[in-house]
Structure formats: C-alpha cells, structure tokens
Amino acid sequence: MRVIGLTGSIATGKSTCSQTLSSPPYSLPLIDADLLARKAVEPGTWGYRRIVATFGPTTPDLLLPAADPQCGGREDGPNGRGRPLNRPALGRRVFGNSEERTVDRKKLNAIVHPAVRFYMARAMLYYYLRGNWACVLDIPLLFESGLDIFCSTVIVVAVSDPKIQMQRLRERDPHLSAEDAENRVKSQVDVREKATRCEYRNKGRKDAGKGYVLYNDGDKEDLKLQIADVVGKIRSGSPRWYSLLLLVCPPLMAAVASYEVLSNWLLRRKTVKERGAELAKPKL
C-alpha cells in the first residue's frame, strides 16, 4: 500500500486537495491529522486532562463556559467528562513567534503528537488489511514531525506568493484580525521551504515520483487538474497486482516498507545537510 503524505500551510488549499482525493473518482482513504488531534483532546481523554493541567491555571478562558450550547448548561460538560476546550483561546496562547508562545506550542505538541501518531498507525494498518492500494496522510506538520520518512510519496500544496495566503486566510476566517492572521502564518514554516524539501525527494532519481508540488495560485479547477495529473502518475507506479502481492505476503510488505523508510530517512539526512536543520526535528 502506498502512503501518500499530504501537507501545506494554512490557507494554501490543502483541505481542498484532501477533499478531492477522498472523493470520487479517486476515493482514497483519508487519515486527517487535524481530526485525530481533536479526538486526542476530547473531554475525558489523557490529552485533555494534560492540556487543562498545563494551560488551565494561566488561561482562564481555556474551557468553554457552561452556558455554551456545546456544554448543554453543565459545568461538567455534555458527557460529564469536562467542558470542551475553547480552541480560539488556546490558539491565541500558542500561535506566534514570541519565545513564550513558542515554548507553549512545544508543550501542546508534546501532548497531542504521541496520541495522533498512535491513531495514524492504527488507521494505516486497517486500510492495508482492507486491500487499499493507497491511503492519504493529511498532516500539516509532515516535515516538521519527521513523519515524511513513512510516506511513499509526498504532495505539498503551496502558493508562490505569501500575499495570496494572507488574503485567503482573512477571507476564510473573517473573525481573525490582521495581527492574528499574520501570527498564524508566521507560526508555521514557510510553505515555499516545504515545497523545496518536497522537490529534494526526487533529487538524483530517474523516476521523479517521491515528491510533487501543487502550486495553488489559481482557482479550484486548476488545482483539480494538477491533482488528476499527479494521481495518475502515482497510480501508474503502483499496479493492482503489486498491491495484491503485498497484501497476501505480509513479510514482503514489511521488507518493502522497511526499505522505503530507511531510504527516506537517508534522503532526509542528506536534505538537512544541504538545506539546514530548520525542519530536521519534530517541533515537540
């Protein structure tokens, strides 16, 4: 089974790409890191309790008020496990480039990331056993977390001009002030650097199929045409008989996966030497 890593930055069109890939005619199973991250911090979970213990004492509005419809008027939340997190308040606490916000963001990631990785591994095993030829890992921090080494192919949805990104973010989230929008963009690695890292996956290879960059500077139809072209190329490199062979022969699947992870890890090391260590380690 081919694991397709999908990443980008805020307001570059990654969500549009993931929706397209998971819908007909492609209908690829989608493992969404953001949805898993929400699941990991639902009231009653270990992640939720750690976040409340870490940020609650210094963030008075960390939890939604009991009067909020999501709480149903209950102090202990709708299911008795606690009031849901106030995500905008938590976002204001961790987004930005200041030293304090950077430290807080690392604390939050250290809580959420381990749980999300467990859910991802479980989902990939499930889709492999179902016989799917590929699945999509939708991970905003794919390179930063180091999870790109587990991907057969990486797709980066990017824009060539940061002004396009800011404009789309303000249009999508009109409640954000210009400062809040800028802080959210600056809290992530420049998407053009991610595009370069993706292109480096093909460096020195005859079959340039390890990384694809989709520049989403136009409209949705233009993006969909690029998606169709990329999926066709990926599909041609993974015929149905090969997927079935890996399914019926788990030892072969394990050997192929191990080789791929090792080669991706070596490629990552080489890229870090040439591009710098900004994306070398998980931002935990």
The pLDDT of residue 187 is 76
The pLDDT of residue 283 is 38
User: Which pair of tokens denotes residue 209?
Assistant: 């199929």
pTM above 0.95, yes or no: no
What are the tens digits of pLDDT across the range 123-163? 999 999 999 999 999 998 898 888 999 999 999 999 988 88
* pLDDT above 60: residue 80: yes
The pLDDT of residue 212 is 96
The pLDDT of residue 97 is 78
The residue extents of the domains of the chain are 1-29+133-274, 36-131
* pLDDT above 60: residue 24: yes
Banded model confidence at residue 2, pLDDT cuts 50, 70, 90: very high
What are the tens digits of pLDDT across the range 253-283? 999 999 999 999 998 888 888 877 655 443 3
**Please, what sign has the CA dihedral across residues 219, 220, 223, 225?**
negative
Fold of 1-29+133-274: Rossmann fold (3.40.50)
**Backbone phi, then psi, for 84, in 5-degree steps?**
-60, 160
- 62, 52 Cβ separation under 8 angstroms: yes
Place of tokens 């905003």: 140
